[in-house]
């Protein structure tokens, strides 16, 4: 039986720590860490994410502001709001919920957010600092995966690590973090030949491709640690991951479930990044 890496429990413990640190921060500085979330349009999934972020901020004692803009909001208006929030000393983290409506330029929005308030770690300056290993913030999902591995007692150094997926949000930064932890890292993608041969080499397999139950038991090395970043729906409309849990769980040594694995960690790491940003701001002000 594989060990189930419980993201809910690990996330809850991390949030208790963040809440305690936030209480101390408020006592020391007289204000709370502040997070501003911008949502444009009425994408149902985005609305759920934004509500969850707002609720999480309340749980740990943050100031939380949500800016709901209509679908037809022009680029200039969105840019102006970001400029206002960049200058607002009560706001330490800014997040623009993606995807944006098609008429808006996501790259322009990401570049507009101050790197010091870029708690998603998407700004080119923060991405570059991650490459160098000298960063203030990490993208929330890869950062959450690293905490899960740490709390599960998984040794990364010297291990064969395979990352399936090369997105800027998960795959690429995930590979860099594993590399910085002295893993030997391979990135796989849609053009990778003999994929199963590569995934079977992995001591640690991180799957983030957005294809339901894509990784099956015959693609996994016995005793591997399997991290499933996917959030999909199966043929019955039931929530599942990129890993076929039923066939993989008997083979691996540890695995994250979906739901309840990586998912809970993402918002928790957003809270951690916002607290870090607030601490940096307070340090610079003193």
Chain position carrying tokens 């691996």: 252
Greatest pairwise CA separation for the chain in angstroms: 57
Strand partners, 68: 39
CB atoms within 10 A of CB 197: 10
- Do 145 and 110 share a domain, yes or no? no
Q: Is 234's pLDDT higher than 90? A: no
CB 130 within 8 A of CB 273: no
Q: Is 52's pLDDT higher than 80? A: yes
* Inside any domain, residue 219: yes
* Inside any domain, residue 14: no
- The alpha carbon of 243 is separated from its chain's Cα centroid by a whole number of angstroms, namely 18
Residue 120: active-site member: yes
Q: In this predicted structure, what is the pLDDT of residue 128?
A: 96
Domain harbouring 200, CATH code:
3.40.50.720
Q: Is 286's pLDDT higher than 80? A: no
Half-sphere exposure (Cβ direction) of 80: Cα atoms closer than 13 Å:
6
* Inside any domain, residue 131: no
* Inside any domain, residue 190: yes
Average pLDDT over residues 166-186: 97
Distance separating alpha carbons of residues 160 and 150, to the nearest angstrom = 16
Average the pLDDT over each of 44-53, 83-92, 183-192, 263-272 and give the range with the smallest value. 44-53
Domains contained in the chain, number:
2
The structure tokens listed for 198 are 């590569």
The structure tokens listed for 152 are 């599960």
Domain boundary among 96, 114, 132: 114
CB 139 within 8 A of CB 120: yes
**3 state SS of 192:** coil
* Inside any domain, residue 253: yes
* Inside any domain, residue 130: no
pLDDT, tens digit (0-9, with 9 covering 90-100), for 127-167:
999 999 999 999 999 999 999 999 999 999 999 999 999 99
* Inside any domain, residue 89: yes
Range of the domain at 106: 30-114
pLDDT class of 267 with cuts at 50, 70, 90 = very high
Given the residues 3, 19, 47, 53, select the one marked as catalytic.
Answer: 53
Q: In this predicted structure, what is the pLDDT of residue 237?
A: 87
pLDDT class of 1 with cuts at 50, 70, 90 = confident
Given the residues 118, 120, 228, 242, select the one marked as catalytic.
Answer: 120
* Beta-sheet pairing, 160-164 with 63-69: unpaired
Q: In this predicted structure, what is the pLDDT of residue 270?
A: 97
Please state, rounded to an integer, the average pLDDT across all residues of the chain.
96
Given the residues 6, 19, 55, 97, select the one marked as catalytic.
Answer: 97
Residue 53: active-site member: yes
Residue 102: active-site member: no
pLDDT class of 184 with cuts at 50, 70, 90 = very high
pLDDT, tens digit (0-9, with 9 covering 90-100), for 193-222:
999 999 999 999 999 999 999 999 999 999
Q: Which residues does 24 contact at the CB level (< 8 Å), separation at least 6?
A: none
> What percent of the chain stands above pLDDT 70?
100
């Amino acid at each position: 039986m594989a060990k189930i890496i419980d993201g809910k429990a690990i996330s809850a413990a991390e949030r208790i720590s963040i809440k305690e640190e936030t209480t101390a921060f408020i006592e020391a500085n007289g204000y709370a860490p502040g997070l501003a979330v911008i949502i444009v349009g009425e994408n149902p999934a985005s609305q759920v994410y934004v509500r969850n972020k707002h609720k999480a901020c309340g749980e740990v004692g943050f100031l939380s502001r949500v800016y709901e803009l209509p679908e037809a909001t022009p680029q200039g208006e969105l840019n102006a709001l970001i400029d206002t929030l960049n200058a607002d000393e009560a706001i330490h983290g800014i997040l623009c919920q993606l995807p944006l409506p098609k008429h808006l330029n996501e790259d322009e929005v990401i570049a507009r957010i101050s790197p010091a308030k870029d708690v998603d770690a998407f700004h080119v300056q923060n991405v570059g600092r991650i490459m160098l290993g000298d960063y203030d913030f990490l993208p929330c999902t890869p950062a959450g995966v690293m905490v899960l591995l740490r709390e599960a007692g998984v040794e990364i150094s010297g291990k064969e690590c395979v990352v399936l997926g090369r997105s800027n949000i998960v795959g690429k930064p995930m590979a860099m973090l594993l590399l910085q932890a002295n893993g030997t890292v391979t990135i796989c993608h849609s053009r990778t030949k003999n994929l199963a041969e590569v995934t079977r080499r992995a001591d640690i397999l991180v799957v983030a491709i957005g294809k339901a139950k894509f990784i099956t038991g015959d693609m996994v090395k016995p005793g591997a640690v399997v991290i499933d970043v996917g959030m999909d729906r199966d043929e019955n409309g039931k929530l599942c991951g990129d890993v076929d849990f039923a066939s993989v769980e008997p083979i691996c040594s540890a695995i994250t479930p979906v739901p309840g694995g990586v998912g809970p960690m993402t918002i928790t790491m957003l809270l951690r990044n916002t607290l870090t940003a607030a601490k940096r701001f307070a340090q610079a002000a003193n």
